[in-house]
């Protein structure tokens, strides 16, 4: 391995070896002062416990030296991963130090909560479904899909796009898989667009659970829309009442780039490991109206039982003026 002659070079060499799955080679660019051992370093890059990281691979890494002295520097690495659910972006600010004639990266130690070996009894409710069969009476009912209701809806203009945001509630006593579709109708009665919420919704809703949704209509101006037809759909299916995830210490902070960021801690209060947390944030104005919904798959790392991990959501929404930062809920 050729030693890195610059801070930028050290970070790029480390990431190039990581991209090629040569973690031993990548570790050679890690400073000895780091408290990471090689195994922990490799686990941090490859993921574990079936997290999203284990289904992803590093595609691209861009680096930028934020500031540098003769002995140390701060390098920002913007990483793009290809994952099973689409592209994932991550930004890390890495401290690089000069040791002798080479620059090496002080890789941050990732503090994962250590859960001791134990047996965790799980007694959360599960639902299963038995549907009608071919030998049932002609008029006999099948089990109905859960009743869902859109409790709020708001149409927002975002440049040349129209965004529909709102919330949907499962009013029933059984769980369901839900989605929300919308059709925009123009002033002449023609259909301007039909879209669904896709991943900007929590699809599995337990009884009395409320999920936000967001439906994007690119290249449709709000001024051309006369009416919106909403179509909530629900399907009855098996479900489980766990995991129970708490979102703690939700607060808005300003990151190093000056952007407002919604941060919080995910706490797994149930006994099952959560592989891929999907975080949705809902923003309300002072009257309680939904004004924005954002969602993101959390940085690829599983949340073990009875542990917490940090998530961050960008509170940036075009047109959202600070300090008029709205109320939010994750």
Partner 1 sequence: MTKSPIEVVVKCGCTMAVAILLMCCFVIATHAAELNVPTSVAAGSGLSIPTSGRGSATLYVAGPGTAIKRKVQLGQEIQLSADELQNAGRYVVSLDGNSATFFVIAGPVQSIAFLARPSRVPADTPNVITGTALVFDKYQNLVLQPQPVKFDLNVNGQTVSRTDMTKQGIAYIKLDSSKKEGPAQFMASSGPASVRRVVQEVASDPCNIRMSAERDKNGVLVRTDPIRDCAGNPVPDGTIVTFTSTDSQGKNTVDARIKRGIAQAHLPASANATISVASGVVVGNEIQWRVDR
* Residues at the site binding partner 1, with contacts judged by CB under 8 A: 123-125, 127, 137-144, 151, 169, 171-175, 206-210, 241-242, 244-251, 264, 267, 269, 328-330
Token pair of 272 as six digits: 């099952």
Comparing CB distances to partner 1, the nearer of 175 and 232 is 175
**Dist. CA 154–CA 86, nearest whole Å:** 27
We find the least distance from the C-beta atom of residue 249 to partner 1, in angstroms, to be 5
Comparing CB distances to partner 1, the nearer of 141 and 321 is 141
Token pair of 165 as six digits: 């945001």
We find the least distance from the C-beta atom of residue 329 to partner 1, in angstroms, to be 6
We find the least distance from the C-beta atom of residue 208 to partner 1, in angstroms, to be 4
Comparing CB distances to partner 1, the nearer of 26 and 304 is 304
**Dist. CA 175–CA 125, nearest whole Å:** 11
We find the least distance from the C-beta atom of residue 140 to partner 1, in angstroms, to be 7
Comparing CB distances to partner 1, the nearer of 208 and 316 is 208
Token pair of 110 as six digits: 């990732």
We find the least distance from the C-beta atom of residue 274 to partner 1, in angstroms, to be 13
**Dist. CA 72–CA 106, nearest whole Å:** 10
Beta partners for 4?
none
Comparing CB distances to partner 1, the nearer of 122 and 194 is 122
We find the least distance from the C-beta atom of residue 191 to partner 1, in angstroms, to be 30
Comparing CB distances to partner 1, the nearer of 49 and 209 is 209
Comparing CB distances to partner 1, the nearer of 36 and 211 is 211
Residue among 128, 119, 326, 113 at smallest CA distance from 237: 128
Token pair of 4 as six digits: 């890195």
We find the least distance from the C-beta atom of residue 112 to partner 1, in angstroms, to be 19
Residue among 198, 203, 190, 241 at smallest CA distance from 216: 198
H/E run at residue 314 = strand 308-314
- Residues written for the chain: 330
Comparing CB distances to partner 1, the nearer of 233 and 269 is 269
**Dist. CA 204–CA 241, nearest whole Å:** 10
Residue among 108, 79, 106 at smallest CA distance from 15: 79
**Dist. CA 38–CA 63, nearest whole Å:** 23
We find the least distance from the C-beta atom of residue 180 to partner 1, in angstroms, to be 17
Q: Which residues of 34-58 are buried (b: 16+ CB within 10 A; e: fewer)?
A: bebeeeebbbbbebeeebbbbbbeb
Comparing CB distances to partner 1, the nearer of 245 and 297 is 245
**Dist. CA 104–CA 29, nearest whole Å:** 5
**Dist. CA 182–CA 215, nearest whole Å:** 7
We find the least distance from the C-beta atom of residue 205 to partner 1, in angstroms, to be 8
**Dist. CA 253–CA 314, nearest whole Å:** 10
């Amino acid at each position: 391995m050729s030693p890195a002659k610059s801070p930028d070079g050290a970070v790029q060499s480390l990431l190039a070896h990581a991209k090629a799955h040569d973690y031993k080679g990548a570790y050679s660019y890690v400073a000895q002062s780091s408290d990471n051992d090689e195994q922990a370093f490799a686990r941090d890059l490859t993921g574990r416990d079936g997290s999203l990281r284990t289904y992803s691979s590093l595609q691209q890494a861009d680096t930028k030296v934020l500031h540098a002295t003769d002995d140390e520097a701060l390098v920002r690495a913007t990483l793009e991963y290809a994952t099973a659910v689409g592209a994932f972006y991550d930004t890390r600010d890495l401290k690089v130090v000069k040791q002798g004639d080479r620059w090496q990266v002080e890789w941050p130690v990732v503090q994962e909560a250590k859960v001791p070996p134990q047996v965790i009894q799980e007694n959360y409710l599960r639902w299963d479904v038995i549907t009608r069969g071919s030998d049932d009476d002609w008029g006999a009912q099948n089990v109905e899909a859960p009743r869902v209701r859109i409790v709020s809806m708001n149409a927002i203009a975002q440049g040349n796009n129209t965004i529909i945001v709102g919330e949907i509630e499962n009013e029933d006593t059984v769980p369901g898989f839900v989605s929300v579709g919308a059709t925009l109708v123009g002033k002449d009665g023609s259909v301007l667009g039909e879209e669904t919420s896709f991943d900007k919704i929590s699809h599995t809703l337990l009884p009395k659970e409320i999920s936000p949704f967001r439906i994007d209509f690119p290249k449709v101006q709000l001024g051309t829309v006369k009416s919106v037809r909403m179509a909530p759909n629900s399907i009855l299916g098996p479900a489980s009442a766990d995991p129970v995830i708490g979102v703690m210490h939700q607060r808005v902070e300003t990151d190093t780039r000056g952007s407002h960021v919604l941060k919080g801690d995910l706490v797994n209060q149930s006994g099952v490991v959560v592989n891929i947390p999907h975080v949705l944030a809902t923003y309300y104005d002072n009257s309680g109206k939904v004004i924005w919904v954002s969602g993101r798959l959390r940085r690829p790392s599983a949340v073990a039982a009875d542990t917490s991990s940090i998530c961050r959501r960008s509170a940036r929404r075009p047109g959202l003026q600070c300090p008029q930062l709205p109320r939010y809920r994750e």
